[in-house]
Amino acid sequence: MASSVTKDAPGTTGGTTFFGHPRGLATLFMTEMWERFSFYGLRALLVVYLVAGGPDAGEGGAGHQGGGLAMTLATATAIYSVYNAMVYLLTMPGGWFADRVWGPRKTVAVGAVVIMLGHLTLALPGTPTFFAGLALVATGSGLLKANISKMVGDLYNGPQDPRRDGGFTVFYIGINTGSFLAPFAIGTVGQTVNWHLGFGLAAVGMALGLLQFLLGSRHLDAKSDHVPAPLTAEERAVWIRKAALWALAAAVFYGVVVGTGSFTLNWAMVPLTVLGLVIPLAVLVRIKRDRELSAADQGRMTGYIWFFAAAAVFWMIYDQGASTVQAFGDAKTSTSILGWHFPSTWFQSINPLFIILIAPAVASLWLALNRRGREPSTTEKFAFGLVVTGLSFFVFVIPMSMASDGTEVSPMWLVLIFLMHTIAELCISPVGLSVTTKLAPAKYASQLMGVWFLAVTAGDSVTGLLSIGGVDLSTTGAVALEAALAVFAGFAVYMYRRQIASTMSEVG
């Protein structure tokens, strides 16, 4: 999108604006669009590449190539789940670096460089470089994702600026634009031409985002350079010493494991998945047990734990759209419409397309119901979202059963599943962000937003542990069990909605 010359918007200092918003929004919009382009391009390719050449690979549409790492679907699902969990877990240290070391602007720039290097590493052949590339992308994403949204907020004159919500809406369009386009470009090149060329194309996307971020950074607010609580020299020395000791301990431990010939992927994945569960729980317990919180804040945190648990169940199923569901789309779903074939990675464009199309209608629906005094409460929205999530996997059981004899099913089954995921997402993800800002004690206003992202980590960590533990999530039994869990959780939230609301003062 280009800038538009308009009359000065309230709170601006004059000059060019971005559709009535501060010019810096264009810089952040394009940075996030290209970052999501690279992230969702990798997401579309990841599981398909991991299973390609192995027993669980499919033909996947026109021009589908072989190669890949020939892993089983269970291993690929575990790797994808651990990777996705780490992306969101690392948002916490990403926020810490901005608050204590670099400030948001420098942290985002460093994150973009690390992401680009990660995709370039993925573009190199070889299994060790592949996992190094995933680690770099996850680290860079944690640095960038934790801070770019804050920089959007910094462009406005506080929470009461009338343009603020609209600015985040424009920013959200950038997220979904990049997500929508990525499978068509990166997915097509990677799946039909060369896997590593596809990963390299993701690096080009992030490089474009980084370039325009550096060129347009002069339009960002000065607060984006501010380090709120810089480390003292003594604190810096302590942190460096601790980091060095942990790094040395890990190097010695894994050196022994590798040296004795005992190393397998589980030596890396199990500790990470356990951390993905333990850290979110530890953070919530620490906040809940803080004696400085008032009784009202303690009550709100009790209600928030319900929402966190519900969100973890949702993300556990939702994120399988790029693993279990994508693998089914690649191996057992027709990728042909009226004789025209398409790569199976294109299925990953369905959800962002539905977000773009449906989100305005859902937002209008909430406003219309609110004017009539009939808008569902936060707990009711969560309950509905969980039930729809569960029903999507009950729907998934149908094409899975149809394909059990080798029949390729219609791609419309996946379209329906992703549509249901989108409806559920719109009832949980933005609502969860909103309720987090409402329930957060003042002492933890910023930290609790990071905790919200840890719900993704927790959900994906459960999926990863199940896959590592030998549970085949691609069977109808496992899918039906997950579906039943989500529906049960939805009904539980609904049945206890009044009790949950009573802990939340005037918010519920």
Q: Report the pLDDT value the prediction gives residue 138, as an integer from 0 to 100.
A: 97
- Does the pLDDT of residue 383 top 90, yes or no? yes
CA dist., res. 150 & res. 140, Å (int)? 16
Half-sphere exposure of 264 (CA within 13 A, CB side): 5
Using alpha carbons, select from 454, 433, 425 the residue that is nearest to residue 352: 425
CA distances from 73 to 61, 131, 257, 415 (A): 18, 17, 26, 21
Amino acid at 359: A
Q: Where are the alpha helices (DSSP H) in 260-340?
A: 266-288, 295-318, 324-332
Higher pLDDT, 29 or 432: 29
Tokens representing 262?
């005992």
Percent of the chain at pLDDT > 90 equals: 61
How do residues 218-263 score in pLDDT, each as one tens digit?
999 888 888 888 999 999 999 999 999 999 999 999 999 999 998 8
How do residues 142-154 score in pLDDT, each as one tens digit?
999 878 888 888 8
- In this prediction, residue 160 has a pLDDT band, given cuts at 50, 70 and 90, of low
Q: What is the mean pLDDT of residues 294-308?
A: 88
Q: Report the pLDDT value the prediction gives residue 8, as an integer from 0 to 100.
A: 41
Q: Report the pLDDT value the prediction gives residue 165, as an integer from 0 to 100.
A: 67
- In this prediction, residue 159 has a pLDDT band, given cuts at 50, 70 and 90, of low
Question: Are the CB atoms for 505 and 112 separated by under 8 Å?
Answer: no
Largest CA distance in the chain: 70
CA distances from 261 to 265, 305, 422, 455, 467 (A): 12, 42, 45, 35, 23
Q: What is the mean pLDDT of residues 436-465?
A: 85
Q: What is the mean pLDDT of residues 287-294?
A: 88
Residue environment code for 121-143, b if the CB has 16+ CB neighbours within 10 A, otherwise e: bbbeeeeeebbbbbbbbbbbbbb
Most confident region among 76-85, 329-338, 489-498 by mean pLDDT = 76-85
The CATH superfamily label for domain 24-230+264-502 reads MFS general substrate transporter like domains (1.20.1250.20)
Using alpha carbons, select from 440, 462, 468, 135 the residue that is nearest to residue 278: 462
Tokens representing 447?
């930290």
- Does the pLDDT of residue 60 top 60, yes or no? no
- In this prediction, residue 14 has a pLDDT band, given cuts at 50, 70 and 90, of very low
Residues in the chain: 508
Q: Report the pLDDT value the prediction gives residue 449, as an integer from 0 to 100.
A: 73
Q: What is the mean pLDDT of residues 91-119?
A: 93
**∠111-324-341 over CA atoms, to 5°?**
90
Question: Are the CB atoms for 101 and 231 separated by under 8 Å?
Answer: yes
CA dist., res. 371 & res. 389, Å (int)? 28
Tokens 């294109």 — which residue? 346
CA dist., res. 416 & res. 398, Å (int)? 12
Q: What is the mean pLDDT of residues 322-327?
A: 96
**Helix 164-182 and helix 127-154, axial crossing angle in degrees, nearest 10:** 160
Higher pLDDT, 14 or 216: 216
**Helix 412-439 and helix 378-402, axial crossing angle in degrees, nearest 10:** 160
DSSP-based three-state secondary structure for 333: strand
Q: Report the pLDDT value the prediction gives residue 320, as an integer from 0 to 100.
A: 97
Q: Report the pLDDT value the prediction gives residue 167, as an integer from 0 to 100.
A: 79
Half-sphere exposure of 87 (CA within 13 A, CB side): 25
Average pLDDT of every residue of the chain: 88
Q: What is the mean pLDDT of residues 451-462?
A: 92
The predicted model scores a pTM of: 0.89
Question: Are the CB atoms for 183 and 336 separated by under 8 Å?
Answer: no
Q: Do strands 336-337 and 340-341 pair parallel, antiparallel, or not at all (unpaired)?
A: antiparallel
Percent of the chain at pLDDT > 70 equals: 93
Higher pLDDT, 501 or 15: 501
Q: Report the pLDDT value the prediction gives residue 16, as an integer from 0 to 100.
A: 63
DSSP code of residue 36: H
Q: What is the mean pLDDT of residues 9-23?
A: 62
- In this prediction, residue 11 has a pLDDT band, given cuts at 50, 70 and 90, of very low
Q: Report the pLDDT value the prediction gives residue 208, as an integer from 0 to 100.
A: 96
How do residues 105-115 score in pLDDT, each as one tens digit?
999 999 999 99
DSSP code of residue 464: H
Q: What is the mean pLDDT of residues 205-228?
A: 92
Half-sphere exposure of 507 (CA within 13 A, CB side): 25
